């Protein structure tokens, strides 16, 4: 278990979630349900044996981070738990819900103990279907079902591509992406399709790139060796190390914005698009449910306590990710 602050937000939370799912528990000392939920989460972290990490954020000490997550999900109550994977928030729940429900939530994102491991690549897309069909991988099954249910909606396909690339299953990701690949070309390309095409391309070329030591040596010898810098960025991008890739690209952009038809800037923007979460709709919760006004998760607002919080109703928001926002600012500063 780790405590999250502004200082370690990126290194211990966002970067860690690139390697293993991280469940962030947003709590406060005055919150009774938070005290009930905390020990349950700690117990589950131990039982799951490292298949997910538990992080805790004191909302009173870090209101900026807590507020950003609240805005992202349309939630104004604690305890509030956010699941992060692949360097971004993907889901959450509110209130001190029963342990069985927490397990169901975790099992959507946490690899099963005896299931398909991240370093076991699939031979082709058929293995993706088989993994989802037999129930061995709930995350794959959920996404495959969403694609089958509505093939015209691209977002489940993007999520599946990302999941497969995170697991090193590049050929399977290519097969899933192929039906929509053409949308990323032409006079008016779909920017999101284009971005995921870049992600797949980086994953394809990364294994044949020079080693990090060789690239670092080339860059040290010539700070304007943009080919080496871009190759380094591609290796990070292909491996899902998005912030490392953008840092390498930023070095090119700051020195030569127009290099290679603005390839560095375009790739940087593509990475931001891959990291971004589309507009989401938060379902309305009934009064009395954990976290709702009158429910067990709603603080009472008594004297000396923070203002009363509540869960927003049905809302549509553009998620705000502090890491994405920070890297957008870096790009703006480099360009302008």
81 is catalytic: no
Bridge partner residues of 93 (DSSP): 81
Q: How many CB atoms lie within 10 A of CB 117?
A: 10
Cα 162 to Cα 86: distance, rounded to the nearest angstrom: 8
Q: How many CB atoms lie within 10 A of CB 327?
A: 21
34 is catalytic: yes
Which one is catalytic: 4, 14, 34, 128?
34
Count Cβ neighbours within 10 Å for each residue of 216-226 and write b for 16 or more, e otherwise: eebbeeeeebb
Q: Running DSSP on this structure, what letter comes out for residue 207?
A: G
Tell me if 25 sits within 8 A of 62, measured CB to CB. Answer: no
Tell me if 92 sits within 8 A of 24, measured CB to CB. Answer: no
Q: Which tokens in the block code for residue 292?
A: 């709702």
Which one is catalytic: 13, 31, 57, 59?
31
Comparing CA positions, the residue from 212, 214, 216 lying closest to residue 238 is 212
DSSP codes of every residue in 244-305: HHHHHHHHHHHH-TTHHHHHHHHHHHHHHHHH----EEEPP--TTSTTSTTSTTS----TTS
Residues labelled as active-site residues: 31, 34
């Amino acid at each position: 278990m780790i405590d999250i602050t502004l200082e370690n937000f990126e290194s211990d939370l966002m970067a860690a979630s690139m390697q293993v799912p991280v469940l962030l528990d947003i709590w406060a000392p005055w919150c009774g349900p938070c005290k009930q939920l905390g020990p349950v989460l700690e117990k589950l972290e131990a039982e799951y044996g490292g298949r997910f990490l538990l992080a805790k954020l004191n909302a009173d000490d870090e209101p900026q981070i807590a507020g950003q997550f609240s805005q992202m999900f349309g939630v104004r109550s604690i305890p509030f738990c956010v699941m992060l994977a692949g360097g971004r928030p993907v889901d959450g729940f509110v209130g001190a819900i029963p342990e069985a429900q927490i397990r169901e939530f975790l099992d959507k994102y946490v690899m099963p103990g005896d299931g398909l491991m991240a370093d076991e690549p699939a031979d082709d897309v058929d293995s993706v279907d088989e993994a989802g069909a037999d129930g061995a991988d709930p995350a794959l099954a959920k996404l495959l079902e969403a694609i089958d249910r509505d093939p015209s909606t691209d977002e489940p396909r993007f999520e599946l591509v990302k999941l497969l690339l995170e697991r090193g299953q590049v050929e399977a990701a290519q097969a899933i992406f192929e039906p929509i690949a053409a949308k990323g070309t032409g006079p008016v390309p779909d920017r999101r399709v284009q971005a995921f095409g870049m992600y797949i391309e980086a994953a394809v070329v990364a294994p044949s790139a020079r080693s990090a030591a060789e690239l670092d040596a080339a860059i040290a010898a010539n700070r304007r060796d943009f080919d080496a810098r871009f190759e380094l960025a591609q290796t990070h991008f292909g491996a899902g190390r998005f912030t490392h890739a953008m840092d390498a690209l930023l070095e090119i952009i700051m020195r030569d914005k127009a290099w290679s038809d603005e390839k560095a800037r375009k790739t940087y923007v593509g990475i931001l698009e891959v990291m971004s979460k589309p507009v989401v709709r938060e379902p309305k919760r009934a009064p009395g449910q954990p976290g709702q006004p009158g429910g067990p998760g709603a603080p009472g607002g008594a004297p000396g306590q923070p203002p009363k919080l509540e869960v927003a109703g049905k809302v549509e928001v553009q998620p705000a990710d502090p890491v994405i926002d920070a890297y957008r600012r870096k790009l703006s500063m480099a360009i302008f």
